Amino acid sequence: MRGRRMKLRDTPSVSPALWRALPCPAAELRLELVLPSGQTFRWRESSPGAWTGVLGDTVWTLRQERDRLWYTVYGGEAGADTDRLLREYFQLDVGLRDLYRSWGAADPLFREAAKDFPGVRVLRQDPVECLLSFICTSNNHISRITAMIERLCRAFGRHLCHLDAQPFHAFPSLAALAGDDAEARLRALGFGYRAKFVSGTARAITEGLGVEGLHQLRTAPYAEARKVLCTLPGVGTKVADCVCLMALDKAEAVPVDTHVWRIARQRYGMELGGRSITPRAHQEIGDFFRGLWGPRAGWAQAVLFCADLHKGREPVVSQDRDKES
């Protein structure tokens, strides 16, 4: 595949870099399971087995072939820096096969559910993009969230390029989403009550924590990082745990929504009072799975979520009712 170029239409000034490859067995990563599973909403299958999306301020196409992760970038050069970015994004330094064996040895239910779903790993995303994206997930489905994030980026983000007449945009800056008219524009784009949370959190970070402070939560203890996130508009414990897990290096964070709550009750026999996710139930479920699966419990939960996603109907990604008003 090295040297192959992707065909572009209507974009004479934009061309792909040469294809490069990283060693990556399917047991360590399967793009078709990870990219559309509700961790991120910026990738689409542009042709069979090829995934195109935005990472950072660059448009990429990824595909897997013969234990290699192949990629090309548009409007730039692929090299050692892009290798590093991709390795960090997929956290390829984490040995997934050993983790699967460890989780399966501790939990026969995990072993059975995960046998047909190898290569599901947790992404390491930009904290700002991850946070604002997951605010949009409350009581929502993956396909609808993906469409919302696309509208968000087109309306507020910087245009990067067109590929086959498809426009690609960077994720919006905090300044763009904190503007005086941002909430009204988001409502016009169909964000509903989430509009005030997206613009409000963008404003709160700009005026308080700051982008640097948000990034510094990667070195803070898990409980502290979650507590800080929950002070932001529209951020409940579920969204906070998603951000902790997928952007802030808290591998022990177990996001609990109605989907995971049901798994805990029906498959693992947890006695949880009521029919909704209380803060106590959220903590109990997280502690149970951390005790069962260990320090990367959030990664194991991502495998079960992905398995259920592919075996049943598309689940609601988040349900943080305490933050909807």
The string of DSSP codes covering 156-214 is HSPEEEEETTEEEEPPPPHHHHTSTTHHHHHHHTT-TTHHHHHHHHHHHIIIIIHHHHH
Same domain, 36 and 143: no
Mark whether 7 is an active-site residue: no
Domain boundary, last residue among 73, 92, 111: 92
Residue 300 lies in a domain: yes
**185 in the same domain as 63:** no
| 276 located within any domain | yes
Tens digit of pLDDT for each residue in 303-312? 999 988 887 6
Domain boundary among 92, 109, 138: 92
3-state secondary structure of 283: helix
Q: Are residues 233 and 301 in the same domain?
A: yes
Type of residue at 281: A
Q: What is the mean pLDDT of residues 269-278?
A: 79
pLDDT band at 324 (very low <50, low <70, confident <90, very high): very low
Tell me, what DSSP letter sits at residue 318? B
* Domain annotation covers residue 112: no
109 domain residue, yes or no: no
Same structural domain, 75 and 136: no
211-270: per-residue pLDDT in tens?
999 999 999 999 999 999 999 999 999 999 999 999 999 999 999 988 888 889 888 998
How many domains is the chain partitioned into structurally? 2
- Which pLDDT score, from 0 to 100, does residue 9 have? 36
Q: Are residues 286 and 148 in the same domain?
A: yes
For the residues 9-25, what does the mean pLDDT come to? 72
* Given the residues 7, 115, 238, 323, the one annotated as active site: 238
- Residue 161's DSSP bridge partners are 168
What is residue 322's predicted lDDT score, i.e. its pLDDT?
41
Does 13 score more than 60 pLDDT?
no
Q: Per the domain annotation, does 208 fall within a domain?
A: yes
Domain co-membership, 143 together with 286: yes
CATH number for the domain including 38? 3.30.310.40
What is the total residue count of the chain?
Answer: 325
- Report whether 318 contacts 140 (CB < 8 A): yes
| pLDDT band (50, 70, 90) for residue 272 | confident
Distant-in-sequence, close-in-space partners of 89: CB < 8 Å, separation ≥ 6: 55, 123, 124, 125
Assigned domain for 108 exists:
no
Q: Report the C-alpha dihedral over residues 134, 139, 142, 147, rounded to 10 degrees.
A: -80
pLDDT-derived band at 140 (thresholds 50, 70, 90) equals confident
Query: Residue 256 belongs to a domain with what CATH number?
Result: 1.10.340.30
Calculate the average pLDDT of the chain: 90
250 CB-contact burial (10 Å; exposed 0-12 / middle 13-18 / buried 19+): buried
Does residue 250 or residue 11 have the better pLDDT?
250
Hey, what long-range contacts does 77-84 have (CB within 8 A, 24 or more apart)?
77/17, 78/17, 78/18, 78/19, 78/20, 79/20, 82/17, 82/20, 82/58, 83/20, 83/22
Domain with 181, as residue range(s), is: 127-320
- Identify whether residues 11 and 74 lie together within a single domain: yes
Do 145 and 83 share a domain, yes or no?
A: no
With a pLDDT cut of 90, the percent of the chain lying above it is: 77
Q: What does 45-111 look like in DSSP terms, one character per residue?
A: EEETTEEEEEETTEEEEEEEETTEEEEEEESS--SHHHHHHHHHHHTTTS-HHHHHHHHHHH-HHHH
Same domain (yes/no): 150, 290: yes
Are 150 and 5 in the same domain? no
Token pair for 125? 């995303």
For residues 272-300, give the mean pLDDT: 90
